[in-house]
Amino acid sequence: MPAMPMPAMPARPTRVDAGAPNPGRLVAPPTRVDAGAPPASTRCSAAGAGATGGLLPGEVPVDVLRASPSMRRHAAIRLPCAPSEAIAPVRGRRLAPRGREAPRSGAGAMSSSTREQQRRLAVVLWGVLGVVAVLVDAIYRLGATAVRILTAHDLTTGQLVLLGVWTVAIAYFEGYRGFQQRFSPRVVARALHLADHRRPLHVALAPLYCMALFHTTRRRLIATWVLIAGIVAVIVLVRQMPPPYRGIVDAGVAFALAWGTASILVCLARGLAGRPPDVPADVPEEALRPGSDTEQIANQTVRAGGPGDG
């Protein structure tokens, strides 16, 4: 005998809790489904876009985002999809639960990485080029003084020999050994370290930071300030020298500083090309400990109280 068709059961009326918030937004599902209705995934997208009026025929709006578990239990509603799947795009961004923005991917992640690289590059250039500007100013002043004195006096043979020997000597000891092998690589190394460990005060004083005038090891700090005191003393003594010899000394020093400036720019170009100087940045030991910045941020978060603290 052919199977008897089962009579259609009328839809059970929906019970809505009168005390639930915003009960009018929850309505019963349709009593019947059209034969040509799209699959569940399509209906889910339509239900998620119910706020914009993009429903399919035979479906009703259900505010799944505002429906709490108690409201779903009392209303006995079978949602067409999970609330997390019904989140609709808002102005081109996908929203995550609890009002947080979902992690970006694709172009958003690339733009964030590009901005971070631009910040690092700006810090490196500010620190290194600030040191270069100080040296260029000194080169200009010493060079102008040397040219004015040497052109105003006729140098003897002995003075010309002295000029050549002095220039070669100071170029080797100050330009090559002092700048090229020690000072210039350290300036670039500290600039790269500052770009990875940015602090507002250190970034604002980046040229002084790169010259190791502060936030460095005790030994390097003492050596730097002793060197500065020595340079000041030499400048005072040179100003007391007679004009021809003062011009000779200034010419040699200006040449050595020009050598050092060129070596800094070469180290900078190599560092930006992915070949950083193989010298220590001479920062305090606590700044080199792995996870020190992370631990400090975590401690501050614990003291302030996390988002789940009562």
Residue at 243 is within a domain: yes
Note whether 97 and 84 are within 8 A (CB): yes
Looking at the fold, whether 77 and 198 belong to one and the same domain comes out as no
Looking at the fold, whether 121 and 90 belong to one and the same domain comes out as no
Q: Taking Cα atoms as reference points, which of 271, 264, 279 lies closest to residue 133?
A: 264
Looking at the fold, whether 145 and 247 belong to one and the same domain comes out as yes
**C-alpha 3: how far from chain center:** 72
**C-alpha 24: how far from chain center:** 48
Looking at the fold, whether 123 and 226 belong to one and the same domain comes out as yes
Looking at the fold, whether 170 and 91 belong to one and the same domain comes out as no
Looking at the fold, whether 268 and 170 belong to one and the same domain comes out as yes
pTM exceeding 0.85:
no
**C-alpha 74: how far from chain center:** 50
Looking at the fold, whether 144 and 285 belong to one and the same domain comes out as yes
Any long-range contacts for 22-29 (C-beta under 8 Å, 24+ apart)?
22/63, 22/66, 23/71, 23/75, 25/61, 25/62, 25/63, 25/66, 25/67, 26/62, 26/63, 26/67, 26/71, 26/75, 26/77, 27/60, 27/61, 27/62, 28/60, 28/77, 29/60, 29/77, 29/78
**In whole angstroms, what is the distance from residue 129 CA to residue 135 CA?**
10
Looking at the fold, whether 88 and 141 belong to one and the same domain comes out as no
Residue at 307 is within a domain: no
- The domain of 207 spans 117-289
Q: How far, CA to CA in Å, does 154 sit from each of 238, 243, 278, 309?
A: 20, 11, 46, 83
Looking at the fold, whether 75 and 149 belong to one and the same domain comes out as no
Looking at the fold, whether 88 and 130 belong to one and the same domain comes out as no
Looking at the fold, whether 136 and 259 belong to one and the same domain comes out as yes
Residue at 173 is within a domain: yes
In one letter, which amino acid is 306?
G
pLDDT tens track, the chain, 310 positions? 455 555 555 555 445 444 544 444 444 455 444 445 555 444 444 444 444 445 555 444 545 445 555 555 544 444 444 444 444 444 444 444 444 444 555 555 568 889 999 999 999 999 999 999 999 999 999 999 999 999 999 999 999 999 999 999 999 999 999 999 999 999 999 999 999 999 999 999 999 999 999 999 999 999 999 988 988 888 889 889 998 999 999 999 999 999 999 999 999 999 999 999 999 999 987 555 544 443 443 344 334 444 344 4
Instruction: Report how many domains make up the chain.
Output: 2
Looking at the fold, whether 221 and 254 belong to one and the same domain comes out as yes
Q: At what angle do helices 107-152 and 184-196 cross, to 10 degrees?
A: 150
